[in-house]
């Protein structure tokens, strides 16, 4: 349906550019300098992890480096990419493992490095990377046909991820083997539709088919596979998401899993890998189907769940985040999460496990890369985010520049420029639920399609506004929202910095771990449906707790609420009562993504509840 532009055609602007710079200066921008599993990885000839971690890191670092036009970062990315390509064996095998161990190597990491190489090849213009990915996938096909590689474990449950590089290779080289490999992968890969019965009741067991990252990734399967099979798209993604969401959904659009499906409670967690993988699934689904609802879900996850899981400087992240998160400490004793351990909602270098450390960096760069897409008729402005596109249509240099602070502000300008007269369609996506005006005139629908001859500069103004509201959650709970932004009560945090060494991996500033204990009251209910919005400036740190760009005034009253299984830093799943224990007072709610500790889901106060 739609294709991505190259990195060189896209220039992030405004708060989005600042966020990318913060990431570049933080953990994801520096892992190759200080984290053994990337710095000394077997992928580049070292003796540390030689599976998913370097491919994960490159998956975010490469687009980040190119979108920022940061030559030093590009050189560092190329050092890794070139070392990996140099290590490719004559038969096409590319993963760092001894030849005799190839049959045991879980090829999930192969899918991932092929995706990294193919995307880098096509969006950064490196032909060698495309050829390497093609040869590695041809080698996979030969091994699968010979039975020397069989899909198992992660490879079996993430088989569809190989379809992404395979689709790029098919588009570029147009061979016939790609369809055959896609069919082989499908045949040996897991079909998640077989497991929907297991998604309805969370169980305290680790299962690969209720694993939250797998489930966030697999939504794109039908859309990706259709590129090879030609089968008509039936929106299996929506059917599966609906089941997952009904039994495990969160206020910010996530599927809860810590780390397997965890139910609908506001203290159930979601792993950060699942946040960025759900975003990527939404980006792919929007590009492949053109259905605006995936861009709406993408915004909801990107503007809330992604920034909430990192510190403002992006040097520390969480493994699991919760909607009602009153503390993030190393819990004494057994964890109350499903199967994750007692430090999994702390902020740090690699709380719980290092997958998210390597993987979370894909979130912001890929969001920026997907602001504009190419359609058959011209250009789709998929996300109303500050960003500039410079490309060519029918040989004519054209550009679109979006300016403004959405989702923190509603007035966006789209400046279209064309060197000479050229006809094309600019489709501007309008977020769901927005009251929209284009150049002062009300517009309806998910897309404003402007098919015309463009010449010189044309400035269009898009005004977006939303009605703030309290929306329902299970168990008669409510949360505040304004368009894609979820607003919540920030809880003051008492910070403790933890510097230590474990298993040879050092935590020290700026990449220390942090414990956050609750330092203000959190047990409240909504005493009124009224939310009074105010809008401020978006600062150097867009998602700032001390200077949030959007606020809502709400009336809250204290209620009786307990702790989960006696942990004084974990709120109970739901309040004991909905009766006010005291007078309602005015509080300021701020964007979920600006908070470290927060209460998102609250009951409405009921008078005289027994
Ligand atoms: Zn992870």
Q: What is the mean pLDDT of residues 164-190?
A: 96
Q: What is the mean pLDDT of residues 166-172?
A: 97
For the stretch 445-456, pLDDT in tens is: 999 999 999 999
How many Å lie between the centroid of ligand 1 and the Cα of residue 108?
Answer: 15
Predicted pLDDT of residue 120: 98
How many Å lie between the centroid of ligand 1 and the Cα of residue 273?
Answer: 4
Cβ–Cβ < 8 Å for 23, 361: yes
How many Å lie between the centroid of ligand 1 and the Cα of residue 52?
Answer: 11
**pLDDT at 259 exceeding the cut of 90:** yes
pTM (2 d.p.): 0.98
Residue with tokens 């096409």: 92
How many Å lie between the centroid of ligand 1 and the Cα of residue 20?
Answer: 20
Mean pLDDT, the chain, as a whole number?
Answer: 97
How many Å lie between the centroid of ligand 1 and the Cα of residue 374?
Answer: 31
Report the alpha-carbon distance of residue 211 to residue 226 in Å, rounded. Answer: 24
How many Å lie between the centroid of ligand 1 and the Cα of residue 320?
Answer: 9
**pLDDT at 203 exceeding the cut of 90:** no
Q: How confident is the model at residue 62 (pLDDT cuts 50, 70, 90)?
A: very high
How many Å lie between the centroid of ligand 1 and the Cα of residue 569?
Answer: 23
Residue with tokens 């309602």: 584
How many Å lie between the centroid of ligand 1 and the Cα of residue 356?
Answer: 3
Token pair of 280, please?
Answer: 């990527």
Q: What is the mean pLDDT of residues 206-223?
A: 97
Predicted pLDDT of residue 608: 60
For the stretch 600-610, pLDDT in tens is: 999 999 986 44
Report the alpha-carbon distance of residue 538 to residue 576 in Å, rounded. Answer: 38
Hey, is 363 helix, strand or coil?
Answer: helix
How many Å lie between the centroid of ligand 1 and the Cα of residue 359?
Answer: 7
CA-based radius of gyration for the chain: 24
How many Å lie between the centroid of ligand 1 and the Cα of residue 519?
Answer: 28
How many Å lie between the centroid of ligand 1 and the Cα of residue 275?
Answer: 9
For the stretch 221-238, pLDDT in tens is: 999 999 999 999 999 999
How many Å lie between the centroid of ligand 1 and the Cα of residue 342?
Answer: 15
How many Å lie between the centroid of ligand 1 and the Cα of residue 54?
Answer: 14
Q: How confident is the model at residue 510 (pLDDT cuts 50, 70, 90)?
A: very high
Q: Give the contacts of 576 (CB within 8 A, at least 6 positions apart).
A: 559, 560, 561, 562
How many Å lie between the centroid of ligand 1 and the Cα of residue 353?
Answer: 7
Work out the burial of residue 8: count CB atoms within 10 Å of its CB; fewer than 13 is exposed, 13-18 middle, 19 or more buried.
middle
How many Å lie between the centroid of ligand 1 and the Cα of residue 511?
Answer: 17
How many Å lie between the centroid of ligand 1 and the Cα of residue 387?
Answer: 29
**pLDDT at 464 exceeding the cut of 70:** yes
In percent, the amount of the chain with pLDDT more than 90 equals 97
For the stretch 297-353, pLDDT in tens is: 999 999 999 999 999 999 999 999 999 999 999 998 888 888 999 999 999 999 999
In percent, the amount of the chain with pLDDT more than 70 equals 100
How many Å lie between the centroid of ligand 1 and the Cα of residue 261?
Answer: 14
How many Å lie between the centroid of ligand 1 and the Cα of residue 160?
Answer: 18
Report the alpha-carbon distance of residue 248 to residue 255 in Å, rounded. Answer: 5
Report the alpha-carbon distance of residue 575 to residue 581 in Å, rounded. Answer: 12
How many Å lie between the centroid of ligand 1 and the Cα of residue 386?
Answer: 29
How many Å lie between the centroid of ligand 1 and the Cα of residue 28?
Answer: 14
Hey, is 423 helix, strand or coil?
Answer: strand
How many Å lie between the centroid of ligand 1 and the Cα of residue 358?
Answer: 8
Predicted pLDDT of residue 474: 97
Backbone φ and ψ for 43, nearest 5 degrees, come out as -65, -25
Cβ–Cβ < 8 Å for 258, 252: no
Predicted pLDDT of residue 610: 45
How many Å lie between the centroid of ligand 1 and the Cα of residue 277?
Answer: 10
How many Å lie between the centroid of ligand 1 and the Cα of residue 354?
Answer: 7
């Amino acid at each position: 349906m739609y294709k991505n532009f190259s990195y060189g055609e896209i220039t992030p602007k405004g708060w989005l550019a600042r966020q990318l710079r913060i990431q570049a200066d933080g953990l994801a921008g520096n892992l190759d300098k200080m984290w053994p599993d990337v710095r000394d990885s077997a992928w580049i000839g070292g003796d540390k992890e030689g599976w998913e971690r370097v491919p994960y890191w490159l998956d975010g670092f490469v687009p980040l480096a190119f979108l920022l036009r940061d030559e030093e970062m590009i050189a560092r990315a190329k050092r890794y990419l070139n070392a990996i390509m140099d290590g490719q064996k004559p038969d096409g095998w590319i993963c760092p493992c001894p030849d005799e161990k190839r049959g045991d190597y879980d090829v999930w990491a192969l899918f991932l490095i092929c995706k990294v190489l193919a995307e880098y090849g096509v969006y950064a213009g490196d032909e060698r990377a495309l050829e390497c990915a093609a040869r590695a996938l041809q080698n996979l096909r030969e091994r699968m046909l010979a039975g020397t590689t069989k899909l198992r474990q992660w490879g079996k449950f993430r088989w569809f991820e190989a379809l992404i590089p395979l689709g790029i290779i098919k588009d570029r080289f147009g061979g016939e083997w790609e369809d055959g490999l896609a069919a082989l992968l499908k045949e040996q890969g897991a079909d998640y539709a077989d497991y929907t019965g297991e998604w309805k009741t969370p169980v305290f067991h680790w299962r690969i088919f209720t694993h939250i990252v797998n489930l966030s990734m697999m939504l794109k399967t039908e859309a990706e596979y259709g590129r090879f099979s030609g089968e008509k798209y039936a929106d299996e993604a929506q059917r599966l998401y609906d089941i997952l969401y009904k039994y495990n959904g969160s206020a910010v659009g996530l599927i809860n899993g810590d780390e397997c499906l965890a139910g609908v409670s506001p203290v159930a967690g979601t792993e950060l890998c699942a946040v960025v993988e759900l975003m990527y699934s939404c980006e792919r689904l929007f590009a492949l189907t053109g259905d605006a609802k995936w861009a709406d879900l993408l915004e909801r996850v990107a503007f809330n769940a992604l920034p909430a899981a990192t510190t403002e400087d992006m040097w520390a992240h969480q493994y699991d985040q919760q909607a009602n998160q009153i503390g993030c400490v190393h819990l004494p004793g057994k964890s109350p999460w499903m199967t994750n351990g007692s430090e999994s909602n702390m902020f740090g270098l690699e709380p719980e496990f290092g997958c998210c450390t390597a993987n979370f960096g894909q979130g912001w760069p890929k969001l920026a890369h997907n602001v504009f897409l190419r359609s058959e008729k011209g250009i789709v402005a998929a996300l109303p985010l500050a960003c500039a596109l410079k490309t060519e249509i029918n040989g004519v240099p054209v550009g679109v520049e979006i300016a403004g602070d959405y989702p923190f502000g509603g007035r966006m300008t789209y400046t279209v420029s064309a060197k000479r007269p050229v006809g094309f369609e600019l489709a501007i996506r309008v977020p769901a639920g927005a009251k929209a005006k284009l150049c002062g005139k009300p517009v309806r629908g998910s897309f404003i399609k402007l098919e015309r001859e463009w010449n010189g500069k044309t400035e269009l103004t898009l005004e977006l506004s939303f009605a703030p509201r309290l929306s329902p959650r299970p168990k008669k709970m409510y949360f505040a929202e304004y368009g894609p932004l979820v607003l919540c009560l920030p809880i003051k945090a008492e910070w403790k910095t933890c510097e230590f060494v474990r298993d040879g991996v050092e935590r020290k500033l700026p990449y220390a771990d942090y414990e956050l204990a609750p330092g203000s009251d959190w047990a409240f209910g909504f005493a009124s449906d009224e939310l009074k919005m105010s809008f401020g400036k978006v600062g150097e740190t867009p998602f700032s707790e001390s200077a949030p760009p959007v606020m809502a005034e709400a009336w809250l009253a204290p209620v009786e609420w307990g702790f989960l299984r006696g942990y004084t830093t974990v709120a109970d799943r739901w309040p004991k009562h909905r009766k006010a224990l005291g007078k309602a007072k005015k509080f300021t709610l701020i964007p979920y993504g600006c908070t470290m500790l927060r209460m998102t889901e609250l009951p409405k106060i009921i008078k005289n509840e027994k």
